[in-house]
Structures are given as structure tokens and as C-alpha cells.
Amino acid sequence: MNKKFTCVDLFSGAGGLSKGFMDVGYDVVLGVDNDETALKTFSMNHGNAVTMKLDLNDHSNLDTIVDFLDGRNIKLDVLVGGPPCQGFSYAGPLDINDKRNFLYLAMVKLTDKLKPQAVLLENVLGMIQANEGLGAKRVIDDFAKIGYKMIPKLLFAPDYGIPQIRKRVFFVGLRDSGEDFEFPPAILDAEHYVTCEDAISDLPSLQTETGDIIRGTELQDYMTAPLTEYQQLMRRNSEKVYNHIGAIPIDKTKKMISLVPEGKNYLALPDEYRCLYKYNEALTRYHSKKPSLTINTGHRSHFHYKYNRIPTVRESARLQSFQDDFIFYGNKTQQYKQVGNAVPPILGQVVAEKLKGYLRSDE
Ligand SMILES: C[S@@+](CC[C@H](N)C(=O)[O-])C[C@H]1O[C@@H](n2cnc3c(N)ncnc32)[C@H](O)[C@@H]1O
């Protein structure tokens, strides 16, 4: 029988990254975060995995994790994590000394204590691009000191079948290995990217025949059969639609967005309205024939390619490649945050699958 490789997820959030590992057969044993609601989502979607609410700024808390694994006699194969990245995010002020830029040290310390076969750290592009790649250099140097040669790689989500423009940096390091990890190659070219329409056109519109947006109910029926291969995959384990609640826009927003064609933003508005907006992604309507823009944690500025409303949590989750049976908990703001923070599970899957080829099953 094939051994199931064990995996711990630090800064797990809702667990998009480790869901990808789970989906290709890893045994995800633990998720750690300091956000209780995200941990509830993690727990409800990760089988028997345990969750721990810990502040990972405080490294004395890492012993709780070591004791848990010792107590269950679990030898860790892979440590994964997406430490917060606001200090390197182009969406923020890009402060290299931001305290949050050092949260990754919890991953270094835990790796040193547990010596897993491999470690995977995911982060924003700013890590390799801002300040001449200082963030990435810190990560690479700190892991090198404990015997892990981290290989960084920018992965572009659409290349792997995810219907969303999302660029993230992945670092993978192998323990005591002369080998460098080789990332999986792209599986799609730009002509074959999965589009917004491919991803979400089967979900209830939440719009009446006269164009009014409705809220919808907590649990809804699908209105059509799956219309694409991607929709088939998303609905594989699901009979109903959860987390698909419409946000009813105020009249002004509804009027403005109705004037914006697919793929355009507030710049497409008539002169008298355009000056009302400044943020460069304001009132962006997705393009049905393209992947969506990056799903973020706030999500008030992007609109459905067809309807005059923001995408629901479920639509955003689809664009992040979460299958429909992955249910998000908490209020709507918390749900959007969990979705926007996540690594697309399919991206986790492709890296996790490739990683198996480097792991020993006799440990
Ligand atoms: C980018 S998100 C991780 C998303 C996750 N990898 C996924 O795929 O769903 C970063 C997470 O770090 C957590 N976090 C922030 N500061 C923390 C701290 N001091 N201790 C523990 N977790 C923290 C946040 O609550 C958030 O869920």
C-alpha cells in the first residue's frame, strides 16, 4: 500500500493550499492560524485534520505543534504555509521592515525542529520583486542555514487551469537533497485558459427578469446542468449551491456598473461620472472570455461579467478553484477574506503531485 505523506499547514487560513495537498492524497494532519473563523472553515473541509489557534509570532507556541505530532507519533513529511505578506504586497505601503514580513520565521523554526522531508512557502510577487528581492533572499538564506535549499518560482494560475489572473511566488526546499525541486510546467497556453464564463455561468444569476438583484437563499439548487468541463469538476461532489448570496448594490453603483462593458472599468464611464472614481480597478467588470482579475480579500470593486452586482463568495471561490462542496463559514466579510487569502487548491494540487516524486516513503 502507498504511504500517505503527512502535511502540516501553518498560517493555514481556510486551507486552500493544503486542500490541494489533500486532493492528491496527502494526509493533512494539522492547520494552524490565529483566526478562529478561518480555522472553522479549515476544520469543516479537511477531513480529520486538527486545528490549533496559535499566535505564530510567538515561537514558544511552536512546541505545542511539536508535542501534538509527538503525541500521535506522526513523522512530518511536508510543512506548507502562506505567511501573511502585507509588507511585500503591492496593495500596501511596501515596508520591508513591516513586522509581518518576519512571520515566515515560524516556518523556519518549525522546519528546524521537525526536519520534514520538504517545505513549501507561498507568498506575493513583491517578495521576489520589491527591494531587489530582499524578501526572497531572506527566506532563501534562513532556510539554507538549516539545510534546505529553497527554489523560488513565480507561478501564474491560468497556466494551470485556474480561471483567474493570479501571480504568486512558491518556494520549495528539500531536506538533505542534492536535488533542486523542479516546478511542474504550465499545462495550458493563453488560448486555452479557463474563462470566467467557463467557471461560473451555471450558477444562479440572482437577478430577476426585470434586472433587480436578489439575495437568494443559504442553500440553492443549480438551475442548469454543468455547461463546461470546469463546472463539472467544481460540482463533482455537490448537489446544492452554498455561499451564493447576492449583495444588492445601491442605485448609484448599479447605474454606474450597468454602463461599464465587459473587461472595462470606470474609465469607460461618460465624462460626468468618471471623475467620481480614482482607484484604478474601480468598477471593473470581468470579461466573460478571459480569466478574472486577482480575487482579493475585500472585493467591492470587481463585478460579474454579465450581472450588475459583485461576484458572490461562491463565484469567487469557483474562480479560485475551490470545488462547490468546500463550504465557507463566518459572516460574508470573513468568507470573502478566506477566499481571497487562499492559494487556489488546484495550484496546491499540481505542486503537491510533483513533490511526491521527491519524497521517500520509507521514513
Ligand atoms: C495568506 S493567508 C493564508 C492562506 C492559506 N495559505 C490558504 O491557502 O488558504 C495568511 C494567514 O495568516 C494568518 N495569520 C496572520 N498573523 C498570524 C499570526 N500571528 N499567527 C498565526 N496566524 C496568523 C491569517 O489569519 C491568515 O489566515
Structure confidence by residue, pLDDT tens digits, 131-181: 788 889 999 999 999 999 999 999 999 999 999 999 999 999 999 777 899
Structure confidence by residue, pLDDT tens digits, 283-335: 999 999 999 999 988 768 899 999 999 999 999 999 999 999 999 999 999 99
Q: Which atom of ligand 1 is nearest to the CA of 345?
A: 8
Which grid coordinates are listed for 153?
518560482
Give yes or no for residue 334 CB within 6 A of ligand 1.
no
Residue-level pLDDT at 211: 87
CA of 34 from ligand 1 middle (Å) equals: 7
Strands (E), the chain: 6-10, 27-33, 50-53, 78-81, 118-124, 148-156, 167-175, 219-221, 240-242, 284-285, 302-303
Cα–Cα dist 171/189, whole Å: 23
Pocket test for ligand 1, best of 7, 23, 33, 43 (most atoms within 8 A of CB): 33
Atom 13 of ligand 1, nearest CA residue = 11
143's CB contacts (< 8 A; 6+ apart) are 108, 111, 119, 149, 150, 171, 173
- Note whether 19 and 347 are within 8 A (CB): no
**pLDDT interval class at 96 (50, 70, 90):** low
- Note whether 122 and 343 are within 8 A (CB): yes
Structure confidence by residue, pLDDT tens digits, 11-59: 999 999 999 999 999 999 999 999 999 999 999 999 999 999 999 999 9
Q: Which atom of ligand 1 is nearest to the CA of 15?
A: 9
Assign 3-class secondary structure to 250-297. Answer: CHHHHHHHHCCCCCCCHHHCCHHHHCCCCCCCCCEECCCCCCECCCCC
Give yes or no for residue 355 CB within 6 A of ligand 1.
no
Q: Would the pLDDT of 88 be above 70?
A: no
Cα–Cα dist 237/37, whole Å: 23
Cα–Cα dist 223/230, whole Å: 17
- Note whether 115 and 75 are within 8 A (CB): no
Q: What is the mean pLDDT of residues 114-139?
A: 91
Cα–Cα dist 326/236, whole Å: 11
- 6-188+343-356 sits in which CATH class? alpha beta
Cα–Cα dist 119/15, whole Å: 16
Phi-psi domain of 332 (left: phi exceeds 0; alpha: psi -120 through 50; beta: other): alpha
Choosing among 3.40.50.10880, 3.90.120.10, 1.10.1660.10, 3.40.50.2300, the CATH entry for 192-341 is: 3.90.120.10
Q: Would the pLDDT of 86 be above 80?
A: no
Residue-level pLDDT at 252: 86
The proportion of the chain whose per-residue pLDDT surpasses 90, expressed as a percent, equals: 80
Give yes or no for residue 87 CB within 6 A of ligand 1.
no
Give yes or no for residue 348 CB within 6 A of ligand 1.
no
Structure confidence by residue, pLDDT tens digits, 206-226: 999 988 999 999 999 999 999
**Interior/surface letters 238-269, b for 16+ CB within 10 angstroms, e for the rest:** eeebbbbbbbebeeebeebbeebebbebbeeb
- Which residue in 7, 85, 196, 275 is the catalytic one? 85
Structure confidence by residue, pLDDT tens digits, 231-285: 999 999 999 999 999 999 898 888 999 999 999 999 999 888 888 887 777 899 9
Give yes or no for residue 260 CB within 6 A of ligand 1.
no
Atom 6 of ligand 1, nearest CA residue = 82
Where are the domains positioned within the chain?
6-188+343-356, 192-341
Pocket test for ligand 1, best of 170, 341, 346 (most atoms within 8 A of CB): 341
Give yes or no for residue 343 CB within 6 A of ligand 1.
yes
Q: Which residue has the cell 471593473?
A: 284
Classified as helix, coil or strand, 302 is: strand
93's CB contacts (< 8 A; 6+ apart) are none
- CA angle 327-323-319, nearest 5°? 100
Give yes or no for residue 15 CB within 6 A of ligand 1.
yes
Give yes or no for residue 111 CB within 6 A of ligand 1.
no
Give yes or no for residue 126 CB within 6 A of ligand 1.
no
Residue-level pLDDT at 127: 85
Q: What is the mean pLDDT of residues 69-81?
A: 98
> In this structure, which amino acid lies at residue 109?
K
Give the number of other CB atoms < 10 A from CB of residue 190. 11
Which grid coordinates are listed for 216?
437568494
Q: What is the mean pLDDT of the chain?
A: 93
Residue-level pLDDT at 299: 66
| Cα radius of gyration (the chain) | 21
Residue-level pLDDT at 5: 98
**pLDDT interval class at 93 (50, 70, 90):** low
85 labelled catalytic: yes
Q: Which atom of ligand 1 is nearest to the CA of 84?
A: 10
Structure confidence by residue, pLDDT tens digits, 162-176: 999 999 999 999 997
Pocket test for ligand 1, best of 17, 21, 34 (most atoms within 8 A of CB): 34
Cα–Cα dist 89/86, whole Å: 5
